[in-house]
Amino acid sequence: MIEIYIYAALLVIGILILFRICDLSLYCPKKIRTMSIIIIIIMFLRYISMSIMFFSSKIQYLYLLKYTFFIDFIAIPIIAITVLYIFSRKDSVNFSYSFIVTIALAIVYGLIMYKCTCYVTSLDYCGYTITFTDDLIYWIYILINTFIMFLAICLLNRSSIDKVGIYIVIFSSLLSVIEMLTYVIGFSFMPDNIVGDSMWIICLMYGLKKISKVNIK
């Protein structure tokens, strides 16, 4: 039963953090503000889907939520690109390329969701969840987070970076990898990777807070 309260608490906390990110984005540079708004919209869709799935008492039409239920598979790489740009403090890198990556990820995600089969399953304690029939999608997500983690580790050698931020990135990606691995092998505590999602949006909040302070001054 404790899973119900933890999951519900993480849903509420996640939504509150997204509102805080929305507030911080107002004080960020234009391109980062635009990207932050995109992330906020994506993650709000994700959290709304999770809330509906978790508190629903009927399975009817829940399958239609698959397009937004797994949308964090787009959001997390975009968050990683955004925060790594912020923490690396390298102005010579053109952040505009991140929008091209976002479009590419959206196209790939759309194709995956169109081609891959999912099924809705009931949870033992409350509500429902959606699962891919093919675990390959989860392994791709694990590989993406592993790549992000090693990229962040490589950035630690640079003197100009925000090391606290980079450590948060490493922890977020590692937590996402562990959480997804436990989900794939069937030992997951939560019905999906909500803990990793929560850590990533905390990471984004920290990053935006760092640059919003600069712009407020």
Both tokens assigned to 50: 């999770």
Q: CA-CA distance, 127 to 104, in Å (whole number)?
A: 33
Q: Are 85 and 93 in contact (CB under 8 A)?
A: yes
What is the rounded CA–CA span in Å between residue 25 and residue 31? 10
- Asked if pLDDT for residue 15 goes beyond 80, the answer is yes
Q: Are 128 and 59 in contact (CB under 8 A)?
A: yes
Task: Determine the pLDDT at residue 214.
Answer: 56
Residue 63: DSSP 8-state: G
What's the fold here for domain 2-216?
Rhopdopsin 7-helix transmembrane proteins (1.20.1070)
Is pLDDT larger for residue 217 or for residue 199? 199
User: Could you give the CA distance from residue 137 to residue 153 in angstroms, rounded to a whole number?
Assistant: 25
Q: Confidence band (pLDDT; 50, 70, 90) for 216? A: low
Question: What span, in angstroms and rounded, lies between the C-alpha atoms of 49 and 35?
Answer: 21
Pure H helices in 134-193: 136-155, 163-185
From CA 22, how far away is CA 38, in angstroms rounded? 10
What pLDDT score was predicted for residue 213?
A: 63
Whether the CB-CB separation of 74 and 43 falls below 8 Å is answered with no
The model's pTM is 0.91
Tell me the pLDDT tens digit for each residue of 111-144: 998 888 888 888 776 788 888 988 889 999 999 9
Specify the pLDDT at position 17.
Answer: 95
Residue 168 pLDDT > 90, yes or no? yes
Query: pLDDT grade, residue 21 (50/70/90)?
Result: very high
Residues with Cβ within 8 Å of 172's Cβ and at least 6 positions away in sequence, in order, are: 196, 199, 200, 202, 203
Q: How far apart are CA 159 and CA 165, in angstroms?
A: 13
The dihedrals phi and psi of 121, each to the nearest 5 degrees, come to -125, 150
- pLDDT per position as a tens digit, 42-77: 999 999 999 998 888 788 788 888 899 999 999 999
- Taking only the tens place, the pLDDT of each residue in 171-201 is 999 999 999 999 888 777 777 888 999 999 9
Give the distance, in angstroms, between the CA of residue 186 and the centroid of all CA atoms in the same chain: 21
Query: Phi, psi (5° rounding) for residue 130?
Result: -115, 140
